[in-house]
Structure 1
């Protein structure tokens, strides 16, 4: 079969897609080939076309043009969350396969509308919940399925969001407005809870608590004070269908110096598995270090 022709909305010469997605496409060059891109500005579209030697569309209707192009079989949506639904719908209506980064949309209703439209058009879709593809998570899945630490008794995590603290990078300032759909709940917690249920199974019951304890934040580059409506504290506690108890606490901002940005423990009746990462508590992006005790389980 010929490689699937991929068109990317949000591709730039030096940005998120280049670092997060392009290496995977290049490693799978027998299956996928990058053929087109769309950006909101013609200037950046011209730069992308020259840099990658692909077709590129620029301007307000560039995403729709890309979706309708005959040289595109699959559309990748790699832009900010508020734009996900509109851009993904162009691909769905053009009956193209579509990959959308997580979160799928702003809230449940947008997700439902996209899912129903994709089903009605009979297309293949994928949401980028990539934590379960991390090598540490995949190895943990293998060990847990083999009962290497016995029956699971409990699991707990403490993680830092990175953003949603006292300071925020200019590029992330939009995340402080909850209406934009990119919050500590939807991003780090959303990715983490997908990894949790992948390893340990779904929740049977839970209680969740959220709070916005900071009413504002400072732009790191300029010192400007901006209002925050997004939650910066999240606690989820519950029981999994297996009977194991789970406790999750996410905090806004960066970790305290000298501590880990992510500490996740899975307790079995024959051992303990831990994941740790410096920086922030984004299990999908931090490549956590894994340890299993007793040491003979390695």
Structure 2
């Protein structure tokens, strides 16, 4: 767990595992040292204030709970100048060190945890040196542009015994925890089947902003399939278990994608800069068999059906309807406005309901975020829970988990000739 050290009675000195040079004299058995985990952020940009780093990571790290456990001590950007600009833009302490070279960051002995928020195909080159140096690394999902690169990063981490976290925050989301508990409680009896229907993954069917033009290039590794589908399919399998075997069916309905600037006024036209040909599917179907489990009662051969279409919903339709059909009842998860269940919804809450077949009644199941993340911006809440789990030393997905999901997603897409 690193940052927390309990000391035996009459101990004259003690060292924090994260900060070996920190010595504290004459501690009693009830004394606990809370040495903040020293964090270096990769990809916090002054020019991209709506980036995931600033929207999801920074609010937690600068919150009271975050400051109690973590300390931002360094930034790595494309250049030292860019890192210094971000330090100034976000009012980070003047002592925050600025790096433009991943190797230089890896050599900094006063960094414990490196957090990567760059474009997916830049993950490997920016975090590999720190992994090799034995530093802990939290990488956003996808871990890498494909399973081969993900395996390499996991192998480097294993060799240096580095602790790793991957940003599959849906695994720790209160929504996920609640639905999984409902299934495992036996309230609906054995799971007979499950079906998820989602629409979203981007704000438009065939338009992307300039900063996401690379979503049209499968080889980059960050796109509707790996991010939108990947997060949601991971969350479903966190609840119901790993589907095996799984078959996929893919279609690219709109191969031409317009790259457009934001409208100058609400509802106004968006100037199109260029039109690109995509090689990323925008309609995905998975059909699989759910596992029998001692903790999750499931009928042998229970079917999972998963469908995700990129773009807007039909007016009035929800973004996600997920049902889990059981012997005695059915669970329904309804997300009116967002397909990203791993993030949550700002406006219309995600609803969990249970239909009891015997009484023919429907109960709405309450769920919510608790402190210390309840007051954070929506995007930061489940990310904050990953940081909290890392600080405790348990309950978070690792690079090995990421490799398994990469292998599954890559394998399903391998036969598609889009």
**Partner residue of 1:117 out of 156, 164, 169:** 156
Deviations 1:228-268 (A, max 9, x none): 11111111001111332100111122222222122211112
Map of 1:176 onto structure 2: 216
Name the stretch that deviates more: 212-221 or 112-121: 212-221
Alignment of 1:1-298 (within 5 A): 1=4, 2-13=35-46, 14=49, 15-25=51-61, 26=63, 27-50=65-88, 51-53=91-93, 54-59=95-100, 61=101, 63-163=102-202, 165-221=205-261, 222-223=271-272, 224-242=274-292, 243=300, 244-287=302-345, 288-294=350-356, 295-296=362-363, 298=365
Name the stretch that deviates more: 121-130 or 279-288: 279-288
Map of 2:400 onto structure 1: none
Deviations 1:65-119 (A, max 9, x none): 2232122101011111010111120211221010111111111100111111111
User: What is the Cα deviation at residue 203 of structure 1?
Assistant: 1.2
CA distance in 2, matches of 1:101, 1:236: 24
Give SS of 1:119's match.
helix
User: What is the Cα deviation at residue 41 of structure 1?
Assistant: 4.0
Q: TM-score, normalised by structure 2?
A: 0.67
Q: TM-score, normalised by structure 1?
A: 0.92
Q: Is the 8 A contact 1:136 1:289 kept in 2?
A: no
Name the stretch that deviates more: 28-37 or 71-80: 28-37
Runs of at least 5 residues in structure 2 that lack an aligned partner in the other structure: 5-34, 262-270, 293-299, 357-361, 366-418
Q: Is the 8 A contact 2:99 2:105 kept in 1?
A: no
Q: Is the 8 A contact 1:236 1:249 kept in 2?
A: yes
Q: Is the 8 A contact 1:167 1:253 kept in 2?
A: no
CA distance in 2, matches of 1:297, 1:260: 17
User: What is the Cα deviation at residue 130 of structure 1?
Assistant: 0.4
CA distance in 1, matches of 2:178, 2:307: 24
Q: Is the 8 A contact 2:197 2:306 kept in 1?
A: yes
Query: Which is higher, the Rg of structure 1 or of structure 2?
Result: 2
Give SS of 1:70's match.
coil
CA RMSD of aligned residues (A): 1.9
Greater strand percent: which structure? 1
CA distance in 2, matches of 1:246, 1:31: 40
Runs of at least 5 residues in structure 1 that lack an aligned partner in the other structure: none
> How many matched pairs?
296
Q: Is the 8 A contact 1:188 1:283 kept in 2?
A: no
Moved over 4 A (4+): none
Are residues 130 and 34 of structure 1, via their aligned partners in 2, closer, same or farther at CA, if it must alter by over 3 Å? Answer: same
User: What is the Cα deviation at residue 20 of structure 1?
Assistant: 1.0
Name the stretch that deviates more: 117-126 or 140-149: 140-149
